[in-house]
Structure 1
Amino acid sequence: MAGLYYEQFSTGQAFQHAWTRTLTEMDNVLFSSLTMNVQPLHLDAHFAAGTEFKRPLVNSLFTLGLLIGMTVNDTTLGTTVANLGMTDVTFPKPVFAGDTLHVRTTVISKRESKSRPNAGIVEFEHTAFNQDNVVVAICKRSALMHKQPG
């Protein structure tokens, strides 16, 4: 597995994820359509031109999903029991089609599970940056992680 087990994480540990992703207009339109989010700020260039942003914004829930998804290969691929929650989600700057994102993860805390002896809870802070290294999204995520077998 590419992911790490509970014991392999330590508080303060940081990951600079190698994955990058350039977002496209189609990503935004498809995600917004699939999730039935008909907000014209995401789908209508003419409407968006009349806003302070002057162009469509990438759907923030797509940004959040991408932010977390880009971290999986280095941290939790195959070693997660389940995500327990996401908190403190913020989008300090807008994301537009054509932006290229990269992500950093920091382990905020970890503790043994009280109900599952073969698992522990790891809290991550994920931060997404655009191509200019401007922070565009932050999220804390708690995951129930498998302990190493044996």
Structure 2
Amino acid sequence: MQFYEDLAIGQKQAFGRYEVTREEVIEFASKYDPQPFHLDDDAAAATHFGRLSASGWHTCAMTMAMLVENLKANRQAGLGSPGIDQLRWKKPVFPGDTLRCESVVIEKRRSASRPEMGIFKSSLTVFNQNDEPVLEMVSNGLIRTRDPEGND
């Protein structure tokens, strides 16, 4: 199990593989972001995207799927997240793209009010198969401490 004490500032991790399908792009957009360039090939061709593209929120959801899979694989003692400080969609994501993630721990501290909990901040970049960044975010995570007394 990976606890707060196991995280180090500057710690890097590469993980995930997510294949974006046309069906999923349309299904997500139909339900959550029904703009024409996420739903229709002809409408998308007439935009700056040039073709059907995934919603940025869909890109976030695919990123979350990779994050959770990574947390499970590393058996992280995660306790959720109080939020994201920054989010940028750098390039469109298209059906046929394959996404992957890279993260870096940039800050960490123990909770002053909850000694069983640590808080860490990560910079996360999602890349497509051409190693082009498609999403960048700075997120905050909550993680259990191994030693609530702070004897690390």
- Would the TM-score normalized by the shorter structure come out above 0.5? yes
**What is the CA distance between 1:87 and its match in structure 2?**
2.1
In the other structure, the counterpart of 1:48 is 44
Quick check: 1:67–1:126 contact (8 Å CA) kept in 2?
no
Residues paired across the two proteins, number: 146
**What is the CA distance between 1:78 and its match in structure 2?**
5.4
- Secondary structure of the equivalent of 2:37? helix
Question: Is it true that 1:21 corresponds to 2:9 in the alignment?
Answer: no
Alignment TM-score, normalising by the size of structure 1? 0.89
Structure 1 stretches of 4+ moved >6 Å: none
> Partners of 2:99 and 2:112 in 1: how far apart?
36
- Secondary structure of the equivalent of 2:82? strand
**What is the CA distance between 1:148 and its match in structure 2?**
1.9
Quick check: 2:104–2:122 contact (8 Å CA) kept in 1?
yes
> Partners of 1:33 and 1:78 in 2: how far apart?
34
- Secondary structure of the equivalent of 2:141? strand
Alignment TM-score, normalising by the size of structure 2? 0.88
Correspondence for 1:30 among 4, 14, 27: 27
Provide Cα deviations, 1:69-102, integer angstroms capped at 9, x if missing partner.
Answer: 3133434755222211012101111110000011
Indicate the RMSD between aligned Cα atoms, in angstroms: 1.8
> Partners of 2:43 and 2:71 in 1: how far apart?
40
Quick check: 2:14–2:102 contact (8 Å CA) kept in 1?
yes
Over the matched positions of the two proteins, sequence identity in percent amounts to 32
Unaligned runs of 5+ in 2: none
Correspondence for 1:67 among 46, 55, 63: 63
**What is the CA distance between 1:149 and its match in structure 2?**
6.2
**What is the CA distance between 1:143 and its match in structure 2?**
1.1
Correspondence for 1:128 among 121, 126, 129: 126
Segment of structure 1 superposing worse, 38-47 or 64-73: 64-73
The letter for the 1-side match of 2:25 is N
